[in-house]
Copies of this chain bind each other. A is one copy, B any other.
Amino acid sequence: MNSIDKLSEIFKHFPGIGPRQAKRFVYYLLSRDKATLKSLSEAIGALSEETTQCEDCRRYFCIGSPSKTSPKCTTCEDESRDPFLLMIVPRDADFESVEKSGGFHGYYFVLGGVLPILEKEPEKRIRIAELKKLLKKKEEVKEVILAMNANSDGENTAEFLKDEIRTLKPDISVSTLGRGLSTGAELEYADPDTLKNALLHRTK
Contact = CB atoms under 8 A, between A and B. Distances in A.
Interface of A: 2-7, 10, 14-16, 21, 23-31, 34, 37-51, 60-62, 64, 89-94, 96-98, 100-104, 112, 143, 145, 147-151, 173-204
Given A10-B43, A93-B24, A103-B196, A180 B177 contact: yes
Nearest to A64: B2
Q: State how many copies of this chain the complex holds.
A: 4
Contacts of A176: 202-203
A135 B153 CA distance: 45
A75 B56 CA distance: 55
A201 B174 contact: no
A92 to B, nearest CB: 5
A181 B24 CA distance: 22
16 contacts: A3-B50, A10-B39, A10-B43, A15-B28, A16-B21, A30-B60, A41-B42, A97-B190, A101-B192, A103-B200, A178-B179, A178-B197, A179-B203, A180-B182, A180-B201, A182-B182
A104 B4 contact: no
Contact of A183 (B4, B25, B191): B191
A46 B3 contact: yes
Given A103-B192, A150-B181, A183-B193, A3 B204 contact: no
